Structure 1
């Protein structure tokens, strides 16, 4: 199959039907009316409006995650907008999510993400980065009018490649990042063709504001990732600052595979295939429960604990490591390693032999030493020689115990 026939075959599954749009719009508009009524009742100078993929008309069929902005008049700039909004949403029992300015999740038939922002008319009025968010919608609708379906393709492609999501426990390609990338490259296919040439660190500046100097001009802490994507609305911001190298690599790899052999399979979210993991090497599988009620908090702790175990299995040559989680309380960790048994002792490097005093102290601490490559060394007994033994020790570590609940084999 060629690219065009694959993409034409996929699109009807991604674009919401007229009937679906009608049903969802009715539900969403009803909720907007209810929130605005509550804002009026509280006598707040604010208006709830649609945001994100729904306002941009790039949402996927069957995907009912809806962003809303509650735009507060600038007269509220000295107020805590998150607390004001929480009082408005109280009857819907929202989940408060920590951010540069806290926002809220409400889950019923649809999952709503409700973000308090100042209704700014110019950049100087902004008190927080989120105040620019409605401007992102305007930018996409202006610059991406003919690319809405390309954005849908890119979004579904990332979901299938398991590299999509702005949540702090995923750190993948956000919807906003995908919007910019598709518009920057003038299409989905063009994006993939550009991506196969990417090497960290990639710097993309749609408006050429920084004239090739974005890495030096932007906040250093925000340019440490593999992709520096200058926000066209906030040029001092890297829109892809949260993207991990792992998710960056997943996208580039999927792009290469698709361009080599296009298939509709690249747009299908597949369940984890345990049998494929087993074929890669020695598999260790754990069932893990999360303890926090808030999804973002629980998910972040779950993934951080997973990464701690994975990173401490390095001596066993980790081939692959995967997690899955139901976003409520149940999850799994899978570690595939090459080595199933290590030597009982490992060489431990000491100071250079020319550092006489340090060598003397090292010899005091270790009875048996030897010299190699101009350093003093000793042999230290490992705390575990099999991956199972190591994992059992790691899951007892306070770092893991403080982040997740029960772990079973």
Structure 2
């Protein structure tokens, strides 16, 4: 553990530098806020406030707490104006409240407005809870900060750290709560080895049965100690939950440095093609320009797109073996692995039962049907007919589906309408998506690299 901590724990000089810069930044913000309203409070929150930050993280989260009579528009305007005066490379971001992001002396800074409230019960939006999170952790984490750092790095190493939509993993706050609950990194892992889907963790004694009903699709339920109506682990996907549980078992059985710092895999196009060919399947990719939207919007929309297209493929009897998407700096690729990209011309279509009320209509419909390959006949108790498929080639089918756009999320459809390509097999194995292609065709865990 000492070797891990040496790499991730900030040095005394780094701690002092962060403290000095954050104090300077807060002082500058306070100067400007004071002129407007002395009741507005300015607070550093997050891992830097709680001293659980990792040495390569340079993020400062500054919250401005406004009296309740301010409108959301006023909050937005004040924060934006302060950001323009103090920060470089300013960007406006949108959550429940708009906030600004920029840089100050080499540190990434977020200025977030929220309301000054007495209790989370009075919150207007979810960000109003954050100062209460900060207070709870600061009051309970003393002496365990390094344990949080080790847990965070472990989760980073197994690709499970971050509550953002791109990752669907464990947030920093959830890591801190796990350490407060169980006392140490190793105790967290020991407990995790016994977790089942729908696991409930809490500081109180609320009914587990009721909590599972309240959060029915959550693999892990960790009741927020400042708001019992919130699950801190709500962003965690089933896959990342399962990976963490397995990684905990594996680490306790055989602790290795690579759980924290996995080796990078060599990306070789020839190897990816070789692994693909061994499967005896086919792949196709839908490739289009990356939409200019936040990742927290892009990634859920890509998952919905895959779900929609997978359903459409199955309805047309293309057998889907797997799917994933890959995002580069400029482009997006949605991949499907199929048993075959082509289907036979003939399709068996089952009709109604013989002597049923629908029999006459079925026979009348298909008597003059121009896409039939046979006349109606009987299989067992039912009428049947062999029809000619409308779509035999997946590229033609997918191109038609994308042109119609039914059920595809807005931002993805807008990007596809501008331009898209459908590439098949080796043509679909492109350099900019090699990392994700390699992971798909050779799905080893990071610590196994």
Q: Kindly tell me: are residues 377 and 83 of structure 1, through their superposed partners in 2, closer, same or farther at Cα, counting changes over 3 Å?
A: farther
> Gaps (5+ residues) in structure 1?
1-6
Of residues 252, 277, 287, the one that matches 2:245 is 252
- Equivalent residue number for residue 61 of structure 1: 55
TM-score normalised according to structure 1 size:
0.78
Q: Is 2:292 the counterpart of 1:261?
A: no
What pairs with 1:6-405 in structure 2 (closer than 5 Å)? 7-43=1-37, 45-76=39-70, 81-91=75-85, 92=87, 94-107=90-103, 109-210=106-207, 212-216=209-213, 218=214, 222-268=215-261, 271=264, 274=267, 279=275, 281=279, 289-292=289-292, 294-298=294-298, 300-301=300-301, 304-305=304-305, 315-319=318-322, 321=324, 323-325=326-328, 329-331=329-331, 333=333, 335=335, 337=337, 339-341=339-341, 343-344=343-344, 353=353, 356-357=356-357, 364=365, 367=372, 381=389, 383-385=391-393, 398=405, 399=408, 400-403=412-415
Give 1:260 deviation, angstroms: 3.2
Give 1:59 deviation, angstroms: 0.8
Note the aligned Cα RMSD (angstroms).
3.8
TM-score normalised according to structure 2 size:
0.72
Give 1:396 deviation, angstroms: 5.7
Q: C-alpha separation between the residues in 2 aligned to 1:324 and 1:182?
A: 33
C-alpha deviations, 1:35-70, integer Å up to 9, x for none? 223323444631221111111111111112332211
Find the residue that maps to 2:60 and give its secondary structure.
Answer: strand
CA contact (8 A) 1:344 1:385 kept: no
> Gaps (5+ residues) in structure 2?
422-427, 429-449
CA contact (8 A) 1:195 1:252 kept: yes
Q: Kindly tell me: are residues 87 and 389 of structure 1, through their superposed partners in 2, closer, same or farther at Cα, counting changes over 3 Å?
A: same
C-alpha deviations, 1:310-348, integer Å up to 9, x for none? 7766754435635344xxx43554747373455426867
Give 1:231 deviation, angstroms: 0.8
Q: Kindly tell me: are residues 190 and 110 of structure 1, through their superposed partners in 2, closer, same or farther at Cα, counting changes over 3 Å?
A: same
CA contact (8 A) 1:68 1:114 kept: yes
Q: C-alpha separation between the residues in 2 aligned to 1:254 and 1:150?
A: 17
CA contact (8 A) 1:228 1:239 kept: yes
Between structure 1 and structure 2, the one with the greater Rg is 2
Q: C-alpha separation between the residues in 1 aligned to 2:4 and 2:129?
A: 33
- Equivalenced residues, count: 395
C-alpha deviations, 1:139-177, integer Å up to 9, x for none? 112222232222212222222222222223433221122
Q: C-alpha separation between the residues in 1 aligned to 2:354 and 2:81?
A: 68
More deviation, 206-215/228-237: 206-215
